[in-house]
Amino acid sequence: MVTRWLERSLLFGLGLLTVTREKVVQFVDKLVEEGEVRAEEAPKVVERLIARGEEEREALRKMVREEVARWAPPSRQDVEDLKRRVEELSARVEELSRARGRKAAQESPAQD
């Protein structure tokens, strides 16, 4: 619901922040013009930059998903599991209370 929409919005924003292949090529071409990169190395540099960008984007996506998951409401199964556990613990507390009452009654002297 809301968390899914939030996650999609954040991931959409990440997509807008990533540099397109065309921009990378333009950047590397400029480096070639300036003599920073040799022309024959340009395709390898482009591929390395794009690969690095993908790695960074994936790491950021993972971080966003982890944060969104922390904010997600509990699932129906989570609630059912907790409800079952509370019922089990309540029954156990009641059983211990009764046992304690019986033990106290047995230990107290009979009043005439």
pLDDT at 80: 96
> How many CB atoms lie under 10 A from the CB of residue 28?
22
Instruction: Place 43 in a pLDDT band, splitting at 50, 70 and 90.
Output: very high
Whether 18 and 66 share a structural domain: yes
- Give which of 83, 81, 68 is closest to 3, Cα–Cα: 68
CA atoms 16, 22, 25, 27: torsion sign: negative
Q: How does residue 91 score in pLDDT terms, banded at 50, 70 and 90?
A: very high
Do 83 and 66 lie in one domain? The reply is no
Identify whether residues 56 and 8 lie together within a single domain.
yes
| pLDDT band per the 50, 70, 90 thresholds, residue 15 | low
Looking at the structure, tell me whether residues 66 and 55 fall in a common domain.
yes
Which one-letter DSSP state was computed for residue 37? S
Number of helices (H), then strands (E), in the chain:
4, 0
Q: Is 61 found in the same domain as 99?
A: no
My answer on whether 85 and 58 are in the same domain is no
Residue 52 belongs to what domain range?
1-73
Q: Are 25 and 45 in contact (CB under 8 A)?
A: no
63 and 89 assigned to the same domain? no
Question: What total of structural domains would you count in the chain?
Answer: 2
For 109, list phi and psi in degrees, rounded to 5. -70, 145
Domain identity same for 4 and 56: yes
* pTM for this prediction: 0.47
Q: Is the pLDDT of residue 2 over 60?
A: no
- Answer yes or no: do 62 and 8 share one domain: yes
